Amino acid sequence: MGRHGTIAGRKSAQDAKRAAMFTKYTRQIIVAAKDGGDPEFNPSLRVAIDKAKAIGMPNDNINRAIKKGTGELGGESYEELTFEGYGPSGVAVIVEALTDNRNRTAAFARSIFDKCGGNLGTPGCVSYMFDRKGVIVIEKEDGHDDDDVMMEALDAGAEDVIVNEDNYEIRTEPNDFVEVLAAIKEAGYEVVVSEVEMVPSMEATVDPDAVKNLTKLITTLEDNDDVQHVYYNCDLDLE
């Protein structure tokens, strides 16, 4: 579907928003650390730490976030929220948030859906159009052979490998994600994206007149500190 070609292309733009990313990853670490502060025995925490380090978050920040999550330090308590709705042109949208104020985040989500010509729905109204999958995107480089990459990924436990023009998108079951990611990194591949996320199982067609409002909806959601992920079932170039 090409969506991860877009995500890979946006990597440099995301790097420019490091302060905002620090906030998001700090929250991820705090929530993940509630299940234990040792990343060796907490795969979710290990993934969160790896992502934080990839954008240059200092170790002191990471350790402080872990201690907040385990309760060694007082501080914020975050609640996980999921919103589902339709954007312009009937595009299905799922928003995952970590917030210390449920009412604030819910009001923001409802407001931006309304302003952009969409509507916030009830739980389950669009999630049936998505499957939760581990997604690992690696860059194509000189010397990479499509068949070799596919075999290495499948041997590591991947479910599928999609060959795009400039990258490979490796999909896994959520429970296999950490193991497959470790194997891909150990094999020396450059990982651009690594997430357990909601992958659309059906694709929406976007009316050209709706692109501007749909882009505004998604980018405004993604820029909010409370919002961790925004998933949608269409190709959209947000660069």
Q: Of all residues in the chain, what percent carry a pLDDT higher than 90?
A: 74
Kindly list the domain boundaries of the chain, sorted by start residue: 3-70, 79-123+202-232, 129-200
What does the pLDDT read at residue 5? 55
Superfamily of domain 3-70: Integrase, N-terminal zinc-binding domain (1.10.10.200)
Task: Report the length, in residues, of the chain.
Answer: 239
Q: Of all residues in the chain, what percent carry a pLDDT higher than 70?
A: 92
Domains 3-70 and 79-123+202-232 share a fold: no
CATH, range 79-123+202-232: 3.30.70.980
What is the strand order of the sheet 160-163 is part of? 160-163, 167-172, 130-139, 191-200
Phi, psi of 40 (to 5 degrees): -65, -25
What does the pLDDT read at residue 17? 67
- The structure's pTM equals 0.84
Which pair of structure tokens corresponds to residue 116?
């952009």
Which tens digit of pLDDT belongs to each residue from 139-150?
888 888 899 999
What does the pLDDT read at residue 9? 55
What does the pLDDT read at residue 18? 73
What is the strand order of the sheet 119-120 is part of? 119-120, 79-86, 92-99, 227-232
CATH domain 129-200 topology = Alpha-Beta Plaits (3.30.70)
Task: Check if the beta carbon of residue 30 is closer than 8 Å to that of residue 68.
Answer: yes
What is the SS3 assignment for 36-52? CCCCCCCHHHHHHHHHH
Strand pairing class (130-139; 191-200)? antiparallel
Which tens digit of pLDDT belongs to each residue from 119-138?
999 999 999 999 999 999 99
Amino acid at site 55: I
Which tens digit of pLDDT belongs to each residue from 223-236?
999 999 999 999 88
